[in-house]
Amino acid sequence: MLIGIFAYSTWVDRPARIREFTEVEIPDKMLNLQVNKEQQQESMSIVVRILNGNGVSGVAYKLREYLLNQGFDVSETTNADHFNYEKTIVYLHTSNYSMSNKVSEKLGIDNNPVLDDRAPDYPCDVTIVMGKDYKQLPPFRENN
């Protein structure tokens, strides 16, 4: 009998509880988080490799953290073949030009990728070689 009373009270009160949950407003912050997650999902399919081409210790790691927070998949962070790169260069290893465009957009640099189709099975989509102009990149700007 107790089970019957409990079941009845649960069922009778059900519409009020449903109304409570369906009438809840979603704060703007939560909506913005959803948009950011959607943007990150877009970026997540882009695999990036970062090479330090300027010789300043720690800058590739800082850019890595920034790109990870933007939703990119960073496969490797290491030194370039030399440290005399004046400008940051984006190498595109696929035929999907929009990938380099998304990376360039997040870095705030012109999208003039160097196409590198030497290895179609390359382990990343985009390689960023950080030049001596790295201070113009978002994680290094003074107003950040």
pLDDT single digits (tens) 74-83: 999 999 999 9
Determine the structural domain holding residue 100 and report its residue range: 45-140
Place of tokens 């870095």: 107
Distance of CA 21 to the CA centre of its chain: 32
| CATH number (domain holding residue 74) | 3.30.70
| Count: domains in the chain | 2
Distance CA 46, CA 7 (A): 52
Per-residue pLDDT band at 42 (split at 50, 70, 90): low
Are 72 and 96 within one domain?
yes
Are 33 and 62 within one domain?
no
Distance CA 39, CA 31 (A): 13
Are 87 and 108 within one domain?
yes
pLDDT at 60 over 80: yes
Are 69 and 128 within one domain?
yes
Give this prediction's pTM. Answer: 0.68
| Among 82, 31, 75, CA closest to 50 | 75
Residue 1: per-residue pLDDT:
61
Residue 114: per-residue pLDDT:
86
pLDDT at 85 over 90: yes
Are 80 and 123 within one domain?
yes
CA-CA distances (angstroms) from residue 16 to 12, 51, 87? 9, 59, 63
